[in-house]
A and B are shown apart, each in its own frame.
Chain A
Amino acid sequence: MAEKQTFPLDDDNETLLFEKLQEHILAHYPNPERKGCPDPAVLKSLIETPGEVTLAALNDLHIFKCAECTRILMELRKQKKHEASE
């Protein structure tokens, strides 16, 4: 039986899947008190120099359960894209 294709228009990098995951995390994991969040500098490194970041510094999978960290990552990505286009 063929494997079920749930996001038929997704690309090789599963961009759509990760966008949906991001929406889900933003909607379901509010963390206004930023409990357990990694240092913003670590999030910045995750975007700019991912090879220098460790799982421990990210507090394991915390980001997948934190809308606040997700927002910061979105902002950092936007900045990186902006800087690259200049």
Chain B
Amino acid sequence: MQLPSPSKLCWGIKLPPEQKWIEKAIHFAVSQIWQRAHCIARSQLGDESQTLEMIEIAIGKAVHRLQLNSQASPEDVTQLLERLYLQEVRYRRKANKRLVLVGASEDLPSNSTHNPQSLVDSAIDLEIILHNIPPEVRFALLLRYSQSRWNEIASVLGTTEASIRLRCKRALNRIRQKLEDKEHGL
């Protein structure tokens, strides 16, 4: 589907002059995700007819979030918009209670790594797991991921090993459960 003209991309969003950057960033983001958004809608929901509506909803949410922040780069806005779009696809797919695939099999990537469904599920799942984690715990998880040991992490954060491990435990349990489910194909 052809990309709408820039004047139609932001569907009626009125922004004050100091927030005009949001409009430009959204234009850029929509142009970046446009083709992929249609591909995902086709494979996840069975047709592309809801793509525009879902992008509109994602734009609305993205603008709301960006208005609460200072400047963000066009790349960051693209990531945000894509995430919100995938979230909307996920909601609708759940609401449909069934997966409908249409089109030829060659329309779909053969490599499961790039399967849109897999990407949607994975992205959203980790998003949910890591949602609302306090900054200190986020940082601790990143440090552990980069192979710092818990005693080193505790030292960096100025706390005890037991304390930081306890604070990370819930997030780690949820990640562990998700990976376990993946291994068993759930």
Contact = CB atoms under 8 A, between A and B. Distances in A.
Given A20-B179, A28-B119, A50 B79 contact: no
Nearest to B175: A21
B139 A35 contact: no
Interface string B107-124: 000000110001100110
Contacts of B147: 18, 47, 77
A70 B79 CA distance: 18
A58 B156 CA distance: 16
Interface of A: 6-7, 12-14, 17-18, 20-22, 24, 27-30, 35-36, 46-47, 50-51, 55, 58, 60-61, 63-65, 73, 77
A13 B135 CA distance: 20
B186 to A, nearest CB: 12
A48 to B, nearest CB: 10
Contacts of A46: 142-143, 146
B138 A55 contact: yes
B122 A28 contact: yes
B143 A50 contact: yes
Contacts of B19: none
Interface residues of B, number: 36
Interface of B: 75-76, 78-79, 113-114, 118-119, 122-123, 126, 130, 135, 138-139, 141-150, 152-153, 155-156, 172, 175-177, 179-180, 182
Nearest to A22: B145
8 contacts: A24-B122, A24-B182, A28-B118, A50-B146, A50-B156, A51-B155, A63-B146, A77-B146
Contact of B142 (A30, A36, A63): A63
A18 B145 contact: yes
Given A6-B180, A36-B75, A36-B79, A58 B122 contact: no
A7 B177 CA distance: 10
B138 A17 contact: no
B96 to A, nearest CB: 23
- Counting from the closest, the 5 A-B pairs by CB-CB distance are A28-B122, A6-B180, A51-B156, A20-B179, A35-B75
Given A17-B176, A17-B179, A60-B138, 13 more contacts: A6-B180, A13-B149, A13-B150, A21-B145, A21-B179, A29-B122, A36-B79, A50-B146, A55-B138, A55-B142, A64-B145, A77-B146, A77-B147
Contacts of B148: 50
